[in-house]
């Protein structure tokens, strides 16, 4: 029952959560004998399996112009409507061309039917899926109702039609139980929960020399202790708590490193946390170069580093996010056996914490006791080893590629029958 599977999104490039998770799904599907192909506005997968359409990127100039006139506004002019449908038609033709070129049997739409960052793409996909009756998995990482910037808009008609569409040939997948409940409550759509995963069956191959080079590249000395905050620089990541932690550790050997950038959502928060770190005497290092997806089939390594070079460089991980759909960085830190400080965001409380992990836990504020726990872990290799091994074993049981393969096999069988 080998199938040609088409992944579609606005981009599959870099280390955002959608791109990373799509790469994992593709690896599991290809191991099962399927062939995977890629459609997006930005791609760093194997070029022989890619269908690049720049207009599909959420940062395409035309789409940005459309969003400026419909998001945060209550009235839509007819000229905007015409622009939306003009781009929808362009994208619709390209999707048809992609499906025919690679003889696609099954579409996997990654977040492009979840959050209205690209209205014309969502409309085009909805029409193609309906017209072709092509089996489709809509993989939802976050929804529009989870982002306040979408709550005022002049495109409710399009949002109700396509974000997400309720069609009989779509199976919907969400990444947490709250999203499953909200989706059903708001739309009547049922869904399957598939959490984020990592290849816990195969521990990471750590290149100590690459880790050493990374530390040197960001200016760390051998005796510096690297506190890594492995997230994008956006306000819901709560990076100010990581700054507060390093300040309270009260030692210049502790350096705070942020691995991702802020290019998707502006630079105001980055400017604020940079000033906050300076005002509190915290040595903050921002890694500005491109970081490649270590799981991508054709990463171009422009920066020379991937996430798999960065995690081994760290001594401790901070993950003080205020909101996450799931938390890729949390799994990555567990995978590389790093001790973690985590803020109790809603999905963590409901879906992850009950599994029994051993983290340093904060609940929206940092206490002296929490700081002392972090110091104790950093100063005791035995305590750290016990903590990270427990976490790895728990994650292996719940968030492995084997578990993902079971979920995906069941979904594919629901369309095509058992092999």
Q: What is residue 374's predicted lDDT score, i.e. its pLDDT?
A: 96
Q: Is the per-residue pLDDT at 415 higher than 60?
A: yes
What number is the average pLDDT over the span 364-387? 95
Q: Percent of the chain beyond pLDDT 70?
A: 94
Q: Is the per-residue pLDDT at 173 higher than 90?
A: yes
Please list the residues that pair with 329 across neighbouring strands.
none
Phi and psi dihedrals of 87, rounded to 5? -70, -35
Distances (CA, A) of 64 to 68, 85, 113, 235: 6, 15, 18, 21
Q: Mind listing the domains of the chain with CATH numbers?
A: 4-197+401-416 (3.40.50.2000), 208-398 (3.40.50.2000)
Q: Are strands 254-258 and 316-319 parallel, antiparallel or unpaired?
A: unpaired
Element (H, E) at 179: helix 177-187
d(CA 194, CA 19): 16
Please list the residues that pair with 235 across neighbouring strands.
none
d(CA 66, CA 80): 7
| Neighbouring C-alpha atoms within 13 Å toward the C-beta of 282 | 26
Q: What is residue 306's predicted lDDT score, i.e. its pLDDT?
A: 80
Phi and psi dihedrals of 193, rounded to 5? -90, 120
Q: Is the per-residue pLDDT at 235 higher than 60?
A: yes
The confidence band for 211, taking pLDDT boundaries of 50, 70 and 90, is: confident
Q: Is the per-residue pLDDT at 102 higher than 90?
A: yes
Phi and psi dihedrals of 304, rounded to 5? 90, -5
Q: Are strands 35-40 and 50-52 parallel, antiparallel or unpaired?
A: parallel
Q: Are strands 35-40 and 360-362 parallel, antiparallel or unpaired?
A: unpaired
Contact 409, 32 (CB under 8 A): yes
Interhelix angle 61-70/78-101, rounded to 10 degrees, is: 140
d(CA 327, CA 347): 9
Secondary structure of 233-260 in HEC code, one letter for each residue: CCHHHCHHHHHHHHHHHCCCCEEEEECC
- Convert the pLDDT of each residue in 242-289 to its tens digit: 999 999 999 999 999 998 765 656 688 889 999 999 999 999 998 766
- Would you state the structure tokens that stand for residue 226, as one six-digit string? 């690297």
Q: What is residue 302's predicted lDDT score, i.e. its pLDDT?
A: 47
Higher pLDDT, 179 or 303: 179
What number is the average pLDDT over the span 136-157? 95
Q: Is the peptide bond before 164 cis (omega within 30 degrees of 0)?
A: yes
Interhelix angle 17-31/328-335, rounded to 10 degrees, is: 60
d(CA 364, CA 407): 34
State the Cα torsion 41-42-44-46 to the nearest 10°: 20
The confidence band for 290, taking pLDDT boundaries of 50, 70 and 90, is: low
């Amino acid at each position: 029952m080998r199938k040609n599977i088409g992944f579609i999104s606005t981009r599959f490039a870099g280390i955002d959560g959608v791109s990373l998770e799509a790469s994992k799904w593709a690896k599991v599907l290809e191991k099962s004998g399927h062939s995977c192909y890629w459609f997006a506005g930005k791609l760093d997968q194997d070029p022989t399996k890619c269908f690049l359409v720049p207009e599909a990127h959420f940062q395409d100039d035309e789409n940005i112009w459309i969003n400026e006139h419909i998001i945060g506004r209550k009235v839509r002019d007819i000229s905007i409507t015409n622009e939306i449908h003009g781009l929808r038609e362009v994208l619709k033709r390209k999707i048809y061309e992609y499906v025919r070129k690679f003889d696609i049997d099954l579409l996997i739409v990654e977040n492009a039917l979840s959050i209205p960052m690209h209205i014309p793409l969502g409309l085009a996909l909805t029409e193609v899926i309906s017209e072709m009756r092509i089996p489709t998995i809509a993989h939802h990482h976050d929804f529009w109702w989870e982002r306040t910037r979408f709550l005022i808009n002049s495109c409710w008609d399009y949002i109700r039609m396509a974000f997400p569409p309720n069609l009989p040939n779509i199976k919907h997948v969400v990444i947490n139980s709250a999203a499953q409940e909200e989706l059903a409550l708001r739309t009547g759509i049922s869904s399957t929960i598939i959490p984020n995963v990592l290849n816990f069956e195969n521990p990471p191959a750590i290149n100590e020399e690459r880790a050493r080079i990374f530390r040197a590249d960001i200016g760390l000395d051998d005796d510096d202790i690297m506190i890594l905050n492995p997230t994008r620089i956006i306000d819901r990541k709560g990076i100010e708590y990581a700054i507060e932690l390093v300040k309270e550790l009260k030692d210049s050997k502790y350096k705070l490193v942020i691995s991702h950038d802020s290019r998707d959502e502006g630079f105001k928060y980055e400017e604020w946390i940079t000033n906050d770190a300076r005002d509190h005497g915290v040595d903050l290092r921002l890694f500005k170069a491109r970081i490649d997806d270590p799981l991508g089939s054709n990463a171009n390594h422009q920066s020379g580093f991937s996430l798999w070079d960065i995690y081994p460089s760290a001594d401790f991980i901070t993950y003080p996010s205020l909101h996450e759909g799931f938390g890729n960085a949390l799994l990555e830190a567990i995978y590389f056996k790093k001790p973690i400080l985590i803020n109790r965001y809603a999905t963590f409380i409901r879906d992850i914490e009950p599994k029994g992990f051993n983290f340093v836990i904060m609940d929206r504020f940092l206490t002296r006791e929490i700081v002392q726990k972090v110091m104790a872990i950093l100063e005791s290799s035995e305590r750290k080893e016990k903590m990270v091994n427990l976490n790895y074993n728990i994650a292996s049981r719940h968030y492995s590629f084997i578990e993902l393969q079971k979920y995906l096999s069941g979904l594919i069988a629901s369309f095509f029958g058992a092999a």
